[in-house]
Structure 1
Amino acid sequence: MSRFQVKKVAVLGAGVMGAQIAAHLVNVKVPVILFDLPAKEGPKNGIVTRAIDGLKKLKPAPLAVADDAALIQAANYEEHLDLLKDCDLVIEAIAERMDWKLDLYKKIAPFVAAHAIVASNTSGLSITKLSEALPEDIQPRFCGIHFFNPPRYMYLVELIATPTTQPKILDDLETFVTSGLGKGVVRAKDTPNFIANRVGIAGMLATMQEAENFGLTYDVVDDLTGKKLGRASSGTFRTADVVGLDTMAHVVKTLQDNLSADTDPFYASYGTPEVLKTLLEMKNLGQKSKAGFYKKVGRDVLRFDLASKDYVAGGQKSDEVYARMLRKPAAERLQLLRESEGPQGQFLWAILRNSFHYAAVHLADIADTARDVDFAMRWGFGMKQGPFELWQEAGWLQVAEWIKADIAAGKTISDAPLPDWVFSGKVVGAGGVHTAEGSFNPTTQAFEPRRVLPVHARQLFPEAVLGSQAQGFETAGKTVYEDKGIRLWSLDGDVLIASLKTKMHAISPEVAEGLQQAVDLAEQSYQGLVIWSGDEPFSAGADLQAMLPAFMAVGVSAIDEAEHHLQQTMLKLRYASVPVISAIRGLALGGGCEMAVHSARRVVAMESYIGLVEVGVGLVPGAGGLAYIARRAAENAASSTDKDILKFLTEGFTAAAMAKVGTSALESRQLGYLLDSDIVVPNKDELLFVALNEARAMFTAGYRAPLRRPFPVAGRSAKATIQGQLVNMRDGGFISQHDFHIASLIAGVVTGGDVDANTLVTEEYLMTLERRAFCALLTHPKTQERIMGMLSTGKPLRN
């Protein structure tokens, strides 16, 4: 049976979205051609080449490695349409003008390969109407594909079929988008703004309206509607600034132009807010123009004041009483907010009630099931829970009665009644829309299971909605050993899994002991060991707080002992007789990085951030990180014709001394924390599947641990060279005296201490140097200031 393979992609349109989609394709190693109009002056590809150059400057970075911009092939519609014949997927991403899109489709149609999928990345135009401009032979291979901005980071992709789209086309595209691009796919109906933007933008408009009703400032609203509410930390108005006020206005206009009071009972709430009109007239478009609802002046963040049309002091916070309310269980939380007499509490109840009301009324029109709405809002708008999940958790029928009462009292933004299915039938019997059987489809009046494609088998523990009763990794498989710090378990009896349970998956002495036990068990009874903790981060490093009591009671000797035990743990991972795989997602910092580099292999989610960051708390890496840098430099020099170890040491030393963190798996590879043999996985939910298979494959191939052998170091002359550069940096004011002191200690370890160049040393020898430096710094007042600063504020202190 043949499978659909995407060997090359064409992206039509080098605007903000098109260029960033092309960048993400390069990130996941998919060859891409980026098209646009021929330039009127200069080289014909000028529009595209300028867009590609611009990718290197954008923040957040659309490219995992900036230099990979060179891998995007530039093309224009006048000279290069023949290149489309080699493309398996064509993504159109030009401006949101129906006439422009239809004209382009007529132009490209003769050049599209007979097997290729054609998809439009529109945020709300009718996919069915777009398809009508294509020849009949292309229509079955055409659909909508809606990436969220920025495409590299946003997990959601909506796929939209037309009446003529072949089901297999959507299945093939979902397979590629899921595994190849690392995204979460929701299939939406062909309605204005689809699911996420339909619900999300309507919610933002309603929030702005309610903020005005209750007299709340933008910064207070953002404080209430951010993390405290289980949503993106940017809240409402700051999110609008990040998205772009022109982009938001365009999505709002799609609602205004394609809906009416006859087709949508919430139509009256789609009016453009006066403040948004004013900011657009002022050309204050948000983050892209450095001014929107907020404006940063120096270190101060000002907020816009509509009355004066100027910016005033910002930074107001919500009342703490509402933060306490929002930490209560769902049922109690909503009741407290509904009964609150203060404007902030009334506002919170209003926006939550509006979201439930809107989602219920529109569910049948925009999505197949309630699951699609909840996933779309989680993945597209950064919510911890979708509206149906929160409603169900708080008590389905009680919340429904509250909404009904508010509708009757004229408190809601629409007088549309809740659908009949809310109060009767299967939903009430099940206590909500999500069950173990599936999620509710109002069209079929049935609970429908999640669609299953072969690619989904790679997601051993996919995200699940509340109420689905999906088994979590925490209780899955067979537990071999468990304590408060670690769980050792297996899914199949072949490979042992070690899952850290500490906060931020920090490596405490108990976790180190558990990892040593894991190696012993894996060597006795399993084909390998995978370190995977289910969610982010992989590990934020050694548990400093766990060490402090011993340090206070016994002194530095207790820390020396704990560090030695941690170093021995790392060596045990490295020299285990079965392969140890670190499955990394999110942060792998400090000790987490050291745990990773001492594993036989690393399987890494694309959005992982790896580095040795101990300098931030005034310390040096103390669990083998510096020994690893020295060893890798020696290994790289040995495989090169240039045997000067210092040249291969510089990058690793700089990364540790400057606390550099790879801001993607690909950049972490450039810093030396990942090797070419390590595997980068686009989809975070496939990490465990790939890691388990890698462990089995390595075992089956006859895995042998590396032999313990001495290796040469750069010696005291190299240390002197580095020291001279550090003096210049200190004297030039680029680093503090304490930074200079720490960096000098790092240089002393990675060069091997007071020895001649090319002296052979062991990892244990370098780890002893590490430990001495670590313990010496721990007694230094400035290091202690940094540690206490980090523990109290969570931010590094530079002194």
Structure 2
Amino acid sequence: MIKTVTVIGANGTMGCNVSGIFASFGDAKVYLVSRTLEKAQKAVAKAAMSVKADAIMGNLIPADYSMLESCIKDSDLVFESVAENLNTKLEVNREISKYAGSDTIICTGSSGLSIKQLAEVFPESIRKNYMGVHFFNPPYNLTLCELIPSSYTDRKLFENVRDYVTKKLYRTAVEVNDSPAFLGNRIGFQFINEVLQYAEKYKDNGGIDYIDTILGQFTGRSMAPLVTSDFVGLDVHKAIVDNIYQNTSDYARGTFVMPQFAVDLVNSGKMGRKTKGGLYKLDVSNSGVKRKFVYDIATNSYREMIKYSFPYAENMVNSFKVGDYHSAFKTLINNQSKEAALCLEFLLKYVVYSLNATNLVGDGIQSADDVMATGFNWCPPLAVIQALFGVESFKSLAKERLSKEILDQIDLDLLLRKVEVSKYDFRRYFKAKH
């Protein structure tokens, strides 16, 4: 029974949000450990707000690092949520190891670093208690929790944590291998980063807002892919794709190279929504008038967003409005425009890469569906296959529309052989919105 939790790095976005989950759904006493008590006190208020529950304030206890020993010794579970930097996390783990008991469960919220490497800081007697527990932001809305054991993790303890996460915290728990970026971010950021590459490729057509309009909400996601990158933060985006590029070697490795213009934005401090400017920028005048700007790759400057109108997209949205999904996807397949072809190509590549990544990292064919539906709020890949009229139709489209370079590096028949019906209804993800 987990009654008391210490969250280290609780003043960060994920730290305070996860604290709220432990305190509300888990009904646990939670120590929110931050660099200063002032930061911890602010984190308490944010944690309660993140789960819309002032009633949990009594469960949330602010603490600083001088109190770490007493917090850990009083806790059943310690959750590390500091910056996604290997050396930083190793340093924090060394501190945890000083005070953790033989039965203390220790988890990292890492979004993709090696769990085995992080575990090796601990004495052998404690390594068995260490695992990755990766929540997605914001956890109140996105229920995915990737669970990552290392080769040291005690299997019975891991299963107990899975039960706790599933039955007590009401998470969608997916076990994944200890592989760079795990599964959700590997699939999601393969898609997002390749879209970013295409924004550069089509910079003379408009670039960022052009490609985001092609792949908007009507293509099965809660927000356009490059809007998602700005929401997450370009610095976080870069850390994820750099890690995957440096440590994996599958057929899509080249799609994880971040374009130089985006690297330059990161280096200049333009990292997205949190810095009030990145790929997009919102300008609010003194009178309260809002104007949306986008970074123009071709001119290396911001300009007002363009309201693109593509007939295939208009027709799809109109079909979705009346529930005619068959006509919508027929429109996408049959439209001869460059934009429709790009849209369909990206959906096909998304499914193929998801199935490939699941074979490498996941625990069964449904893993990709779970991580994308509950971690990104995107239409999951098996459901996209259904939207595109089933496995045989999808296979024909893939052979017709995907490049020879991709088809030569994958076994499409093998990837699709074990495809199952998705437990998610594709209709809830394809929005009648641009």
Q: Note whether the superposition's TM-score is higher than 0.5.
A: yes
Aligned to 2:431: none
Amino acid at match of 1:417: I
The structure 2 residue matched to 1:418, chosen from 408, 411, 416, is: 411
Task: Find 2:173's aligned residue among 185, 193, 197.
Answer: 185
The structural deviation recorded for 1:278 is 2.9
Aligned residues of 1:210 and 1:351 also touching (Cα < 8 A): no
Q: Tell me the residue number matched to 1:771.
A: none
Is 1:390 aligned to residue 387 of structure 2? no
Which of 217, 221, 231 is equivalent to 1:227? 217
Match of 1:258 in 2: 247
Please state if 1:9 is matched with 2:2: no
Residue 304 (structure 1) aligns with: 295
| Structure of greater relative contact order (alpha carbons < 8 Å, 6+ residues apart) | 2
CA separation in 2, counterparts of 1:211 and 1:318?
Answer: 17
Please state if 1:114 is matched with 2:102.
yes
Alignment size in residue pairs: 413
Give distance in 1, aligned partners of 2:144 and 2:368: 12
1:105 deviates by 2.4
Task: Please name the residue that 1:349 is paired with.
Answer: 344
Does the residue aligned with 1:118 lie in a helix, a strand or coil?
Answer: strand
3-state SS, counterpart of residue 292 of structure 2: strand
Matched ranges for 1:137-286 at <5 A: 137-214=125-202, 215-232=205-222, 234-259=223-248, 263-286=249-272
- SS state at 2:366 partner: helix
Distance, in Å, in 2 between the alignment partners of 1:339 and 1:275 is: 34
Task: Provide the rounded CA distance (Å) in 2 between the counterparts of 1:330 and 1:139.
Answer: 50
CA distance in 1, matches of 2:13, 2:316: 40
Q: CA deviation at 1:210?
A: 3.3
Tell me the amino acid that sits aligned with residue 260 of structure 2: E
Q: Is the 8 A contact 1:407 1:415 kept in 2?
A: no
Residues 1:134 and 2:122 are matched in the alignment: yes
Shift of 1:25: 2.6
Contact conserved, 2:4 with 2:30, CA < 8 A, in 1? yes
The letter of the residue matching 1:265 is: Y
Which stretch has the larger CA shift, 355-364 or 401-410?
401-410
Alignment of 1:401-412 (within 5 A): 401-407=396-402, 409-410=404-405
Deviations 1:69-103 (A, max 9, x none): 57532334444313312211111112223233233
* 1:308 match: secondary structure: coil
Counterpart-to-counterpart distance in 2, 1:113 and 1:16: 28
1:148 CA displacement: 1.1
Matches of 2:309 and 2:83 in 1, distance apart? Answer: 39
Paired with 1:408 and 1:286, the residues of 2 have a C-alpha distance of: 32
Q: Does 1:363 align with 2:351?
A: no
SS of the residue corresponding to residue 119 of structure 1 reads strand
* Alignment partner, residue 281 of structure 2: 295
In the other structure, the counterpart of 1:80 is 68
Q: Deviations over 1:276-298 (max 9, x none)?
A: 22321331111111112221122
1:485-496 matched pairs, under 5 angstroms: none
- Relative to the length of structure 1, the TM-score reads 0.48
| Contact 2:6–2:78 (CA under 8 A) maintained in structure 1 | yes
Match of 2:112 in 1: 124
Q: Which amino acid aligns with 1:401?
A: S
Q: Which residue of 2 aligns with 1:377?
A: 372
Letter aligned with residue 276 of structure 2:
K
User: 1:331·1:395 contact (CA, 8 Å) conserved in 2?
Assistant: no
Aligned residue runs from structure 1 range 440-589, under 5 A: 464-465=423-424
1:92 pairs with one of 80, 85, 93: 80
Q: Distance in 1 between matches of 2:41 and 2:408?
A: 49
> Matches of 1:31 and 1:9 in 2, distance apart?
6
Q: Which of structures 1 and 2 has the bigger CA Rg?
A: 1
Q: How has the CA–CA distance of structure 1 residues 216 and 332 changed in structure 2, closer, same or farther, with 3 Å as cutoff?
A: farther
Give yes or no for contact 1:156–1:185 (8 Å, CA) kept in 2: yes
| Structure 1: stretches of 5+ with no match in the other structure | 38-45, 440-463, 468-534, 536-799
Q: How does 1:746-765 map to 2 (within 5 A)?
A: none
Q: 1 or 2, which has the higher helix percentage? A: 2
One-letter amino acid of the counterpart of residue 187, structure 2: V
Shift of 1:63: 4.9
Closer, same or farther: CA 387–211 of 1 in aligned 2, 3 Å: farther
